[in-house]
Structure 1
Amino acid sequence: MILAFITLGLFDIIDILLVALLLYQVYMLIRGTVAINIFVGLFLFYLMWLLVRALNMELLSSILGQFIGVGVIALIIVFQQEIRKFLLLLGSKYNINQKFTLENWFAFEDRGIREKEIVAILGACEHMAKSKTGALIVIAKNSDLQSYAETGQIVKARVSTSLLESIFFKNAPLHDGAVILANNRLLAARCILPVSDNTNIPGSLGLRHRAAIGMSQATDSHVITVSEETGNISYVMGGKIKVRISIPELRSFLEGDFAGFIH
């Protein structure tokens, strides 16, 4: 009788925990999207290959093995958006670029959001909610949003309640799309945002809300929406949306999420 003993050392436990954490993060990134169905399909394909090999079905095993052989490349192609979001999550969390670039060292005071910008945003959202004026406001945090700003009209103006209201006025030429606020300036208007493919978004939320969720998934920016149909204000960050919030709640979110950035 042969007894087999499995010995687990400290590094083995750390290894298991790190793998579990990695799988959990992957699941969180693809949960609620069509990518989860692709992931399940690939997993079933891999199980079928293992079964074929176990049954010694040489021809079919060799055919499936060709696909398995390029599995890593296929995963990169299929999950390129999810991989991008995962790397963005790591980069945003540790924010190496912000810490070590000389430009940010000398221009730190220009980053973040100031109290008067918050007041301007709150005033505009309150007025637009009452008049049921649709709005989509993106507030940059660490991510560089220049590529998104270039899809619209570059403005580079001081943020004010009247400016935001005039941009989103229904007959204004720049009202269609999003405005991007960065470095205490209104960087651009009429910008096109990526739309989320999350299948769990309620049908009551329209394209404006889907774009807000998509932008918060693709970058670390925070997004405010005002519904044109109901006048409800929503706040989006990290792919999570808080709907029907009040002006005091919006202030609390902004001050809390941009703590350390407000000056």
Structure 2
Amino acid sequence: MWLNFGIKDLIDILLVAFFLYQTYKLMKGSGTIAIFSGIVSFLVVWILVSQVLEMRLMGAILDKFISFGFIVLVILFQDEIRRFLFALGSHRGWKKFTNLFSKKEEQGSSHKYIAPVSLACMNMARKKTGALIVIQQDMDLTVYAHTGEIFNADVNARLIENIFFKNSPLHDGAMIIADNRIKAAGCILPVPQHAELPKELGLRHRSGLGMSLETDALVIIVSEERGKISVAHSGKLAVNVSAEELHEILSGEREVVNFS
């Protein structure tokens, strides 16, 4: 068997290892790692019984579980599968490839929101006004926008501050910015059940982290208690972000590094 081992077999093994590693990361981020471990254990037992020991009766029973198990897995992990496929399609390599065919003027115009958003966040942090701002990237956020009040307004620093003013009816929800426009405010974001966050970080940070796990959006959180700015992206949360760091993150010059 080993004499027939070639470069194609090596590529096959590497692809399987990469797939299992990415699946492990996905399950770990969503808090379903225990289920993933159980599935892997079941597959090992199935291979051992059916292929190695060749137990026909037990193997036939496990085969039935495997045939129906695929449908069950799709139902149980539909959100994780959707995020995995989206992450695969929106990988940076694909983005760099598509950016080769885009005009520089179009790329520059997509960052018009950075200055007003940065100014508003710094002002709200100084005044200790809580805020939750979601910046849409590639994934459409219409589903989340419809949980709040729909807007179609220019991104303006004063407007952002007024929406998150303590007496405003929309200050408790999240604002969604898409295509250089304020798309919605007062929106409800998903809250992860297994996120490990410091005790001093509240519901806004948990919601922002949950949104970054569900989508590819960039989420800015302004703490009402501490007057600090945090940014969540791809399941990572950077806390105590400065004005310069916020501007670099929004412009794509700096990546979000998880808190330590």
Cα deviation code 1:42-84 (max 9, x no counterpart): 22333445566649594x6655443222121122122211111
Q: Structure 2 unaligned runs (5+)?
A: 256-260
Does structure 2 retain, via aligned residues, the 8 Å contact 1:112–1:141? no
Task: Give the AA of the match of 1:30.
Answer: M
CA distance in 2, matches of 1:18, 1:51: 22
Does structure 1 retain, via aligned residues, the 8 Å contact 2:245–2:254? no
* Paired residues for 1:108-123 under 5 Å: 112-114=110-112, 117-123=113-119
CA distance in 1, matches of 2:11, 2:20: 14
- Match 1:70 to one of 68, 71, 94: 68
For the residue of structure 1 that corresponds to 2:30, the secondary structure is coil
* Paired residues for 1:210-221 under 5 Å: 210-221=206-217
Q: Which residue of 2 aligns with 1:86?
A: 84
The normalised TM-score by structure 1 is 0.82
- Equivalent pairs: percent with the same residue? 47
For the residue of structure 2 that corresponds to 1:245, the secondary structure is coil
The normalised TM-score by structure 2 is 0.83
- Match 1:12 to one of 9, 15, 31: 9
Displacement of 1:256 in angstroms is: 2.4
For the residue of structure 1 that corresponds to 2:239, the secondary structure is strand
Q: Which residue of 2 aligns with 1:248?
A: 244
CA distance in 1, matches of 2:44, 2:62: 11
Does structure 2 retain, via aligned residues, the 8 Å contact 1:32–1:200? no
- Select between 202-211 and 23-32 the one with higher mean Cα deviation: 202-211
- Match 1:43 to one of 40, 43, 53: 40
CA distance in 1, matches of 2:70, 2:199: 35
Pair 1:25 & 2:44 matched: no
Number of matched pairs: 247
CA distance in 2, matches of 1:6, 1:111: 58
Greater RCO structure (CA 8 Å; 6+ sep)? 1
The structure-2 alpha-carbon separation of the partners of 1:160 and 1:46, relative to structure 1 and needing over 3 Å to count, comes to same
Displacement of 1:158 in angstroms is: 1.0
Displacement of 1:90 in angstroms is: 1.8
For the residue of structure 1 that corresponds to 2:137, the secondary structure is coil
CA distance in 1, matches of 2:61, 2:138: 46
Displacement of 1:201 in angstroms is: 3.4
